[in-house]
Amino acid sequence: MSLLARLSTLLFLGILAAPVWGQQLKTIDHIYDPKVETVLLFPQVSTNQLDPSLTLNPPVISLDEQVALQLEFDDLTATYRSFRARIVHCNADWQRSVLNDIEFTYEYNDNPITEYLNSINTKIPYYHYRFTLPKLKLPGNYLLVVYDERNRNNIIFTRRFCTYQNRVQVTAEARFSTDPARQFSDQQIDLSINYKGYQVISPQDDFKVVIRQNYRDDREIRGLRPTNVQSFDQTLEYKLIDLSNTILGGNEYRFFDTRTVLSRANYIDRIDRLADRNVVYVQTDKSRNQGPYIQSDDFNGQFVIDQRETSNGATNADYIETVFTLKIPEVQNWDIYVNGAFNFWQLNDRNRMSFDALLGAYRATILLKQGVYNYDYVGQTTTTPPKTDEHFIEGSYSGTENDYEVFVYHRPPASRADQLIAYQKIGVNKRK
């Protein structure tokens, strides 16, 4: 049978048929299957798969370097399931583009996830899956969609990632806000774009600039307009007097260490070793919105998976019921959440806290894999629309150490989608 005939047969049988997701597909980081946990997507810059620090790098890679993105996740059904991965191209605003798969992929855009391992000596069994993303043609925003092979419209989870090619030069600097009223709480990002040698019709209008704090999609600055266009030097300057390039500095993240359950590690108050699971109580927290800024080291909200006894967190780390306690008076008409990269910075039932009148504190229990975690506390009003405030509990200080990323998008002439033509990482208040 010819190749064309075989493809026609597979399409007829539905084996190669594309899932019918339509416009209902949300282009966000989200886990839809409650039995799937710890979805990690990171650049595989080292051959050492046991290095837990690799996951601290954001899923942003250059198309000009031989670096692939590695996906890892756990299935807590403890039963093998067949998953497949598909990639969706998005524009700068994270809306799906009109590009066909063949325009941004080198091979068929539907990949089985075949690499998996069983958990070892854990009270909560799971399957650990791995998948290396294929190389792509175009720089830009992408959404990785993992779905059930037996039900192609059953989406398991989605993860955002980016590829870039530096075709223009970005110079950026982060510092205290120039507004005297905000200089102790906010940080300001000034930048310039040199587009010499790059074809652009209207530089003051065609470039789309996005600034992201600590790899968080909920902490972005968008819609910036250049304050100065130097046509002769082919340079755009973004030094805005309206403070639209200013963002709250926040506070250093809280953290705890559960890499071992044999003894109490940093900021662990108690460990209950039950027959079917382990329960860990993080030390009681208090509000930090009053008083001076206190310097401490953190992962800028991220986390690493690890297990101290084996140094193999992928399959030896157990899942632990982690109990958080925040001792503040009950706040009327507000919901309180414990938040971090472990929940994609989303506020939902998983990380919502409940007020315990006997304790006089808020509490939440979250199932987390062993490791070192950063987190903080967020308040959200129960009004419609809700108002979110991360700083009435944590405070905000311009001296906080933060990471910033600058993304520059452009839609070249005759192109049908936005491309990521520059990416730059900068830090503020770095101490190492």
Average pLDDT for 142-161: 96
- Domain termination residue (choose one: 140, 164, 188): 164
Looking at residue 22, its pLDDT comes to 60
Q: Are 247 and 219 in contact (CB under 8 A)?
A: yes
Beta strand pairing call for 60-62 and 155-164 = parallel
Residue count (the chain): 432
**Residues 137, 98 share a domain:** yes
Task: Answer yes or no: are the C-beta atoms of 236 and 192 closer than 8 Å.
Answer: yes
Beta carbons of 32 and 26 less than 8 angstroms apart: no
pLDDT band at 3 (very low <50, low <70, confident <90, very high): very low
Q: DSSP strand E in 228-318: where?
A: 228-230, 235-238, 246-248, 254-257, 268-273, 278-282, 303-305
Phi/psi at 287 (nearest 5 deg)?
-65, 150
Residue 4, domain member (yes or no):
no
Q: Are residues 285 and 383 in the same domain?
A: yes
Integer Cα distance of 242 and 37 in angstroms: 42
DSSP H or E stretch at residue 146 = strand 140-148
Has residue 268 been placed in a domain?
A: yes
Same domain, residue pair 156 and 176: no
Query: 47 and 131: one domain?
Result: yes
Task: Map tokens 């940093």 to a residue.
Answer: 266
CATH number at residue 342: 2.60.40
Residue 405 lies in a domain: no
Residues 97, 216: one domain? no
Over the chain, what is the mean pLDDT? 93
**How do residues 229-243 score in pLDDT, each as one tens digit?**
998 999 999 998 889
pLDDT higher than 90, residue 51: no
Contact 403, 300 (CB under 8 A): yes
How many other C-beta atoms are found inside a 10 Å radius of the C-beta of residue 124? Answer: 18
Q: Of 164, 193, 215, which marks where a domain is finished? A: 164
What is the arithmetic mean of pLDDT over 67-95? 97
Q: How many domains are contained in the chain?
A: 3
Together in a domain, 220 and 288: no
CB–CB of 187/247 below 8 Å?
A: yes
My answer on whether 234 and 272 are in the same domain is no
How do residues 360-374 score in pLDDT, each as one tens digit? Answer: 999 999 999 999 999
Q: Which domain holds residue 380?
A: 254-394
Place of tokens 């209902």: 24
| Residue 100 placed within a domain | yes
Amino acid sitting at position 261:
V
The reply to whether 121 falls in a domain is yes
Shared domain check, 157 and 33:
yes
pTM recorded for the entire structure:
0.93
- Considering the domain architecture, whether residues 126 and 186 belong to the same structural domain is answered as no
In this structure, the answer to whether residues 64 and 33 fall within a common structural domain is: yes
User: In terms of domains, do 133 and 37 share one?
Assistant: yes
Is there a cis peptide before residue 385, judged by omega within 30 degrees of 0? yes
User: Is there a single domain that holds both residue 359 and residue 388?
Assistant: yes
Pick from 129, 164, 199: which residue ends a domain? 164
Whether 54 maps to a domain, the answer reads: yes
